[in-house]
Amino acid sequence: MSSSYSFSKIESFEKCKLQYKYRYIDKLPLRIETIEAFMGIIVHEALKEFYELVKNKIIKPEKWLLSKFDELWKKDYKDSIKIVKKEFSAEDYYEKGKKCLMDYYEEYKPFDQTKIVKTEESVFFKLKQNSDEYKFTGIIDRLDWNDKEKVFEIHDYKTSATLMTQEEAGQDFQLPLYQLALLSKWPEAEKTKLIWHFLLFNKQIESSRTKEQLTEIQSLAVDKIKAIEACKEFPPQKSVLCDWCDFQEICPLWRHPKKMEKLDENKYKKDPGVKLVTSYSELEEEKKQLKAKIAEIEQEQEKIAEAAVEFAEREGSWIIDGPDKQLVVTVKEELNAPSRKEDTEKWEGLRNTLIESDRYVEVSTVNSSMLNKMLKSWPQEFIDKIKGFLSKKTIKKVDLKNKR
């Protein structure tokens, strides 16, 4: 049997293989605590203590729950806790956590809906597939017995800022694995309610799994574990989660930016990497300005070309002389093939005639430039045949040539 797996271990591998390697293979210590994780832990702890009392039929008032939250927050809060979203302060997260508990209390008082079996219950069981077995561990936030419906309820508290959809609840992988763990102890757990409390939204989401679905989930979990054990390459996977990752300072994607954050302005500007980026980005800016200038010049040339055509037509002079160069003006009529968008019926008629006459291979597609090339070599008889599909177009152009 291999090492033990948890939902967060499997999830870490799926989100970023390199993070998985740092954390579970190299076993590097976790040093960064983020404010979101801290707030979640304190809310979970306050609810755990509250429900331990509920289990013994002691229902404390809301202010007890809030002062427990306050006590735990003040005891454990450290200035080193990382606040990734700079627009929020630690105070904002404190208030958010408190609001979660106030809403929760209002929603579920008087807390007599179910019987509390366990709070923060560690589960251990073996995931099986044929002869393969893998140890799985997890923590159930709260396990209740619903005596009216005679079912277990697995409750999971979430303090995340995104709300799970009902469809996502139907596809979730974590709570069904906990249900499998319960099943190894209680056959009644075959029917279990899976309940998520999205505390920031004051919303409860419920789902359940059939026996067949649980078998599939077990098999899927084993497949995921096998993929982890077979993995030889652990590339970094850049995502929004990087800002919350403990290993940014050693990760090949982030180690330079993280190192630069610690330098003063002087040392920062002298860093060879910073110099490369600065030069590259200056050239990029120059390119942008040159492109804009070229577009401006082309517009100006366009206007001069129009004036040159007018001049040539007025003067009856198709070569206009200049100091070193000459402008050669051409005004001619060309046969024009319709585009499919302009006239689908004609485009299809022309295409079919070309195909039927074995000429389609010569143009390979129906467009004016290919057609005009071929019109020079096609017999008049065939040109007459397709003339009805074509229209005449006046071409006016100007070419700059060296003087002979």
Sign of CA dihedral 192, 61, 72, 52: negative
What whole-number distance in Å separates Cα of residue 46 and Cα of residue 53? 11
Shortest Å distance, C-beta 242 to ligand SF4:
3
Pick 42 or 245: Cβ nearer ligand SF4: 245
Indicate the DSSP class of residue 80. Answer: T
Pick 236 or 338: Cβ nearer ligand SF4: 236
Pick 123 or 242: Cβ nearer ligand SF4: 242
Shortest Å distance, C-beta 213 to ligand SF4:
31
Indicate the DSSP class of residue 91. Answer: H
Pick 229 or 243: Cβ nearer ligand SF4: 243
Pick 251 or 363: Cβ nearer ligand SF4: 251
List C-alpha distances in Å: 168 to 128, 207, 308. Answer: 25, 10, 66
Shortest Å distance, C-beta 18 to ligand SF4:
4
Q: Which residue, chain included where needed, has tokens 């330079």?
A: 256
Give the pairing of strands 325-336 and 319-321. antiparallel
Pick 190 or 249: Cβ nearer ligand SF4: 249
**What residue type is 140 in one-letter code?**
I
Pick 16 or 143: Cβ nearer ligand SF4: 16
Shortest Å distance, C-beta 30 to ligand SF4:
12
What whole-number distance in Å separates Cα of residue 285 and Cα of residue 283? 5
Shortest Å distance, C-beta 230 to ligand SF4:
20
Shortest Å distance, C-beta 236 to ligand SF4:
3
What whole-number distance in Å separates Cα of residue 336 and Cα of residue 102? 75
Indicate the DSSP class of residue 357. Answer: T
Shortest Å distance, C-beta 200 to ligand SF4:
24
Shortest Å distance, C-beta 82 to ligand SF4:
13
Pick 66 or 260: Cβ nearer ligand SF4: 260
DSSP string, 193-254: EEEEEEGGGTEEEEE---HHHHHHHHHHHHHHHHHHHH--------SGGGGG-TTTTTSTTT
What beta strand segments (E) does 5-131 contain? Answer: 5-6, 115-129
Pick 28 or 395: Cβ nearer ligand SF4: 28
What whole-number distance in Å separates Cα of residue 215 and Cα of residue 221? 10
Identify which of 91, 84, 123 has the alpha carbon closest to the alpha carbon of residue 248.
84
Interface with ligand SF4 by CB under 6 A: which residues?
16, 18-19, 236-238, 241-242, 245, 247-248, 251, 253-254
What beta strand segments (E) does 107-187 contain? Answer: 115-129, 132-146, 151-158
Shortest Å distance, C-beta 250 to ligand SF4:
8
Which tokens sit at 261? Answer: 């954050």
What whole-number distance in Å separates Cα of residue 222 and Cα of residue 340? 54
